[in-house]
Structure 1
Amino acid sequence: MKQMLTLTEHSQLKALSDPLRAEMMMRLLERPYTGQQLSVYFNLSRAKVHYHLKELEKNQLIAIVKKEEKNGIIQKFYQSVARGFTPSAELLPHLEDINETSRQFLLQMAERTKSVILSAPEDAFKMNKASEDPSDWDYIGSMWQFSAKEEHFKDWIKKYFALMQEFSELTKQDLPNHPDSKIYYISTMAFQIDEPIMEELKSKKEEK
């Protein structure tokens, strides 16, 4: 699976902007599924799931990664072709569709994170000692709000991805079945909003 796929067709944007397909893509980012498995997961008819899978496959967003025979029937397993998607310069005029696709993916990420939190083990949220030092914590849960220039926000994004790449390289040898290894789920979202949510920035804005 590629890390990033550049979307070059308007039809790809339209395919991803559909809420149900966006939710399907979140599942197919995680692991391969058959149409039958997705039908059960979403409680939808196989015909409806098959239609949406074909739309995603036609737009080269998913691919068949393996086939298995069960009771004389060939089962096809689909998976996303990339972990992330970004529009090409040619698609920038279709701003409304780009915005809706991004919104749907962020919504699905938020829903997925919520379900992971609810199913996480009790040990995930343990507190071994009281401390204001983040390095003593076993998990992170925080919300931030800044008034910033766009260039500063983009600089932060660049550093964030560099940090995640550094962490990825650092943990490559930490195999999941190692007795000292734990599996961590990291979900991050950051985007522009119209009005301050937190009182601190509201007050600063009113003072001006």
Structure 2
Amino acid sequence: MKDIQLLTTHEQLKTLSDPFRSQLLLRLMEKPMTGQQLSEVFELSRARIHYHLKELEKHELVHIAKKEEKNGIVQKFYQSVSRGFVADRSLLPHPEEMSESVRQMMINMLERSQKRVLSAPEEALHEETGSQDPTEWKYLSAAFEFKATEADFKAWQKKYFALMEELSDMQKQNPSADAKTYYFHSLGIQVDEPLFNRQKSEGES
């Protein structure tokens, strides 16, 4: 699976703008799944699931990752071709579709993250330290607003992705039996108006 796939057609943008298809795509970014498995997840008929899978496959957003035979029936496992998508500059004449496809993916990622939080084990949410320092907690939950130029944001983002790669590589280099799986969802986007009105405390510069 590629890290980033370039979207080169207007039809690809329209396909990603469909709320349900972007939900399917997010599931198939996580792992390969069959039409039957997806129909059980979304509680929809296999026929409807296969229709949407074929549309995603036609526009080269998913592919058949593997096939398995079970009880004489060949099962096809579909998977996203990439972990992320970005529109080619040639699609700039279609800004509405570009914005809507990104918006739908973000919304569906938020909904998927909500489900991951709801299904997290109880121990993941037990904070025993009692510390007022969030960096001491064993989970991460925070929201921020900052003033920055676009150049500032992009420069910081490079450092952020490098930091995530560093965390990912730690267990690859030194595997530990105590290692747990951590799920991250990051969202950084320009907004029209700030919602956080942070007042400075006395003595704070």
Aligned to 2:202: none
Q: Tell me the number of residue pairs that the alignment of Structure 1 and Structure 2 aligns.
A: 199
Asked if 1:171 corresponds to 2:171, the answer is yes
Aligned to 2:80: 80
Q: Deviations over 1:61-108 (max 9, x none)?
A: 111111112222211110011111111111122111111111111111
List aligned pairs for 1:37-76, cutoff 5 A: 37-76=37-76
Distance 2:198 2:149 in 1: 18
**TM-score, normalised by the number of residues in structure 2:** 0.91
- Shift of residue 169, structure 1, vs aligned partner: 2.4
Distance 1:133 1:106 in 2: 29
Tell whether the 8 Å contact from 1:2 to 1:82 is kept in structure 2 after alignment: yes
Distance 1:44 1:142 in 2: 35
How well do the aligned residues superpose, as a CA RMSD in angstroms?
Answer: 1.6
**The 10-residue stretch of structure 1 (53-62 or 85-94) with the greater mean CA deviation from structure 2:** 85-94
1:3–1:174 CA distance, 2 compared to 1 (3 A): farther
Aligned to 1:114: 114
Aligned to 1:204: none
Q: Deviations over 1:154-191 (max 9, x none)?
A: 2222221121122222232455xx42111111111011
Distance 1:174 1:24 in 2: 35
Distance 1:136 1:146 in 2: 23
Look up the equivalent residue of 2:179 and give its one-letter code: S
Aligned to 1:125: 125
Aligned to 1:29: 29
What is the aligned-residue identity percentage? 52
Detail structure 1 runs of 4+ shifted over 6 Å in the superposition. none
SS at match of 1:200: coil
Distance 1:58 1:17 in 2: 15
1:23–1:163 CA distance, 2 compared to 1 (3 A): same
SS at match of 2:147: coil
**TM-score, normalised by the number of residues in structure 1:** 0.89
Distance 1:182 1:10 in 2: 41
- Shift of residue 153, structure 1, vs aligned partner: 1.6
